[in-house]
């Protein structure tokens, strides 16, 4: 029996020598955690592209309201404005995301930052009333959060849901924002449809566009 025990111990030693023990922290850093949950085929960029023209744009065009009217109603009755012009998931306590149509003049521009914006005056007062994201980096997930046909429960986990939200920003930048002019923006006319998260800071709303046109230099 002793020789059997010795042989078993030798085999175990060989197996252990050929194995690599990976710390838990390193496991978490090894790529997409959705692969661990059976979502190896999840492709958020493909999901966005497949629904953009057929669902996202028609939804925005139908539900968005004039920026000034939406903003003013939201200041007085946020729930009324949200129910009419926006969406929020009932279960997560998030703020309303409002859908708006903005037409006006660019009166400010910050194109030095990767998260570039233009300040738009839609009412002729000469001051920016909305900050419009023009990329390439874009903050937030306003496009995803504005869609009433998208639910967190449709996704495997929080990471996949976040990736899906960011993929909207990537799609907009690649297909629209990269083509926009970056010089001599002040004084140009701008027209767009987009969304912003309602907050109480008093700062001009940060609008993420789904459609955008910037006119020629005046």
**Angle of CA points 130, 169, 126, to nearest 5°:** 15
Q: What is the pLDDT of residue 92?
A: 61
Mean pLDDT, rounded, for 184-191: 98
Find out whether the peptide bond into 95 is cis, omega within 30 degrees of 0. Answer: no
Q: What is the residue extent of each domain of the chain?
A: 44-214
Q: Is the pTM of this model over 0.85?
A: no
Question: What whole-number percentage of the chain has pLDDT above 70?
Answer: 81
Q: How confident is the model at residue 27 (pLDDT cuts 50, 70, 90)?
A: very low
Fold type of domain 44-214: OB fold (Dihydrolipoamide Acetyltransferase, E2P) (2.40.50)
| Residue 152 and residue 179 in contact, taking contact as beta carbons nearer than 8 Å | no
Which residue, among 93, 101, 95, has the nearest Cα to 82 in the 3D structure? 95
């Amino acid at each position: 029996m002793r020789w059997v025990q010795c042989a078993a111990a030798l085999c175990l030693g060989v197996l252990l020598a050929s194995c690599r023990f990976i710390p838990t922290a390193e496991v978490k850093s090894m790529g997409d955690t959705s692969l661990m949950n059976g979502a190896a085929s999840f492709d958020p960029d493909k999901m966005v592209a497949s629904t953009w023209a057929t669902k996202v744009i028609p939804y925005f065009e139908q539900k968005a309201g004039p920026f000034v009217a939406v903003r003013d109603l939201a200041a007085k009755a946020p729930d009324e404005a949200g129910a009419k012009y926006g969406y929020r998931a009932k279960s997560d306590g998030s703020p309303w995301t409002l859908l708006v149509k903005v037409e006006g003049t660019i009166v400010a521009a910050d194109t030095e930052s990767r998260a570039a914006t233009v300040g738009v005056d839609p009412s002729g007062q000469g001051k920016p009333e909305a900050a419009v994201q023009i990329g390439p980096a874009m903050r937030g997930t306003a496009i995803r959060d504005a869609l009433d046909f998208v639910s967190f429960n449709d996704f495997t986990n929080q990471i996949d849901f976040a990736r899906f939200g960011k993929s909207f920003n990537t799609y907009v930048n690649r297909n629209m924002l990269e083509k926009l002019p970056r010089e001599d923006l002040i004084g140009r006319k701008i027209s767009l449809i987009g969304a912003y998260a309602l907050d109480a800071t008093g700062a001009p709303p940060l609008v993420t566009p789904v459609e955008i046109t910037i006119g020629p230099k005046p």
